[in-house]
Amino acid sequence: MDQVLKIYIKTNFFYGQEVNVIGSWFRLHFIENEGMAFGMKFGERWGKIFLTLFRLVAVCWGFYFIQTTLIKQKYANGLILCSSLILAGAMGNLVDSLVYGKIFTESSFHKAHFVPWGQGYSELLHGKVVDMLYFPMFSGTFPSWFPIWGNEPFEFFRPVFNLADFSISFGVITILVFQNKLLHKKEVRGAMEIRDLNKI
């Protein structure tokens, strides 16, 4: 789903184009970034290479970890699902970084299109990550007494992101919130449930 939406946006929107989906608080707004989730950046050329290689190693390790640890050792299905969401999100952004620069023209005032391998806008490992989900739910101005940002404008939620970012964030937040229920092996949880029933 992440890649389908990214390819649709990249080939049908010019850079910076914005379309309201639900009122003005949910919009498709096409931008690209060279860094991490939610438009954050990490260094320049070598930072980009390092980040892409890190994603590649993390995805390979993620497959290994889910298979050999979470599945074989029978951890809770919820933990496996959340870990898979994190892995899928990492893969989604990895594809952009790895190959988009090789297979797409530059996004600008014209819509990008596919080109033969190697005729794209950048080198291998230097592709830009496509973002499009924008939720500016409300905006205003910080009160004058507010530290650092007094009288400055603010907007919630400002970052533009993609489905891969959402998948990673949802998986991580769910694990953190429900860690007491998820970070157990199935046999352990079953034994705990039996013990709790015996107490009753």
Name the band, by pLDDT with cuts 50, 70 and 90, for residue 155: confident
Residues 6+ apart with CB under 8 A from 47: 35, 41
Residues labelled catalytic: 131, 165
**Structural domain spans, the chain:** 2-139+148-199
Task: Encode pLDDT of 97-138 as tens digits.
Answer: 999 999 999 998 889 999 999 999 998 888 999 999 999 887
**Taking residues 69-79, what's their average pLDDT?**
92
Give the separation between CA 116 and CA 107, rounded to whole angstroms: 16
Residues 37, 160 contacting (CB under 8 angstroms): no
d(CA 78, CA 158): 30
Q: Which two tokens stand for residue 163?
A: 């489905």
Neighbours of 83 (CB within 10 A): 21
Residue-wise pLDDT for 160-185, tens only, equals 999 999 999 999 999 999 988 888 77
CA distance 67 to 58: 14
Q: What is the dihedral of CA 82, 26, 7, 54, to 10 degrees?
A: -40
